[in-house]
Amino acid sequence: MRFTFFEDFLSLVFPKTCCVCKRSLFVFENQLCKVCIGSLPITNYHQRPQNNELSLKILGLTKPNLVISFLQFTKKGTSQKLLHQLKYRNKPEIGVELGRIYAHILSEWGFGSHWDYIIPVPLHPIKLKRRGYNQSEQFALGLSEILGVPISRGLQRDQFTDTQTQKSRMERLENVANVFSARYFDEIKGKRILLVDDVMTTGATLTSCANSLLMSGAVTVDLAVIAAGK
């Protein structure tokens, strides 16, 4: 599709650059250049979604089904740079593009018709207003676009909680216990849910959300995140 004259002009004055290497993007590239996409630290968790480090991490905290992560998280690595821009640099489109890329991989492995709804981990309304968007929902939008699975806002965050960053694993679990509640029960009861978040550290937030969905009648709740550490 041809750009309009105005779009051509803007691309010359304000060229779009790769959010990782900062090189100018071609017309057919979005957020990430092909070179950086090829060097993403993609995990193989989708090849063994019921038996990996992440599924073992939440064993005993919720009923684990499939637990997967798109990228391997490393401090000062590519995944951290992407998450930092997504969450703190007002670049929600990065989350959408990462969702699209991951969805293509999942489709190749037969996950296309695996879920009835995708549910992003919700932000508290105060935090949502501050940031302007939910980074987990942006990731869900990209997944939904390619997989053809609708998004549900079937979860809500009822309490404003402190940041989890400096908390221990036990403190994280206590901090988000009973924080989430389900709504739109017709989109949960009897359904296969893909619950998505931006990052998985201890699994506390995802565990709390998954338990709320399971108690509300979801048949299965699978977990997927943009990045996770070992």
In three-state form (DSSP H/G/I as H, E/B as E, the rest C), the secondary structure along the chain is: CCCCHHHHHHHHHCCCECCCCCCECCCCCECECHHHHHCCCECCHHHCCCCCHHHHHCECCECCCCEEEEEECCCCCHHHHHHHHHHHCCCHHHHHHHHHHHHHHHHHCCCCCCCCEEEECCCCHHHHHHHCCCHHHHHHHHHHHHHCCCECCCEEECCCCCCCCCCCHHHHHHHHCCCEEECCHHHCCCCEEEEEEEEECCCHHHHHHHHHHHHCCCCEEEEEEEEECC
Q: What is the pLDDT of residue 27?
A: 86
pTM for the full model?
0.88
Task: Please check whether residue 172 is in contact with residue 209, taking contact to mean a CB–CB distance below 8 angstroms.
Answer: no
Can you tell me the distance from the alpha carbon of 121 to that of 192, in angstroms, rounded to the nearest whole number? 16
Tens digits of residue pLDDT in 48-95: 999 999 999 998 899 878 999 999 999 999 999 999 999 999 999 999
pLDDT above 70 coverage of the chain, percent: 87
In the structure, what pLDDT confidence band is assigned to residue 12 with cuts at 50, 70 and 90? low
Mean pLDDT value of segment 103-130: 94
Q: What is the pLDDT, as a whole number, of residue 171?
A: 62
Q: Residue 1 has what pLDDT?
A: 45
pLDDT digits (tens, 9 = 90+) for 151-166: 999 999 988 765 556 5
**pLDDT tens digits, residue range 184-225?**
999 999 999 999 999 999 899 999 999 999 999 999 999 999
Q: In the prediction, which pLDDT does 166 show?
A: 57
pLDDT at 8: 55
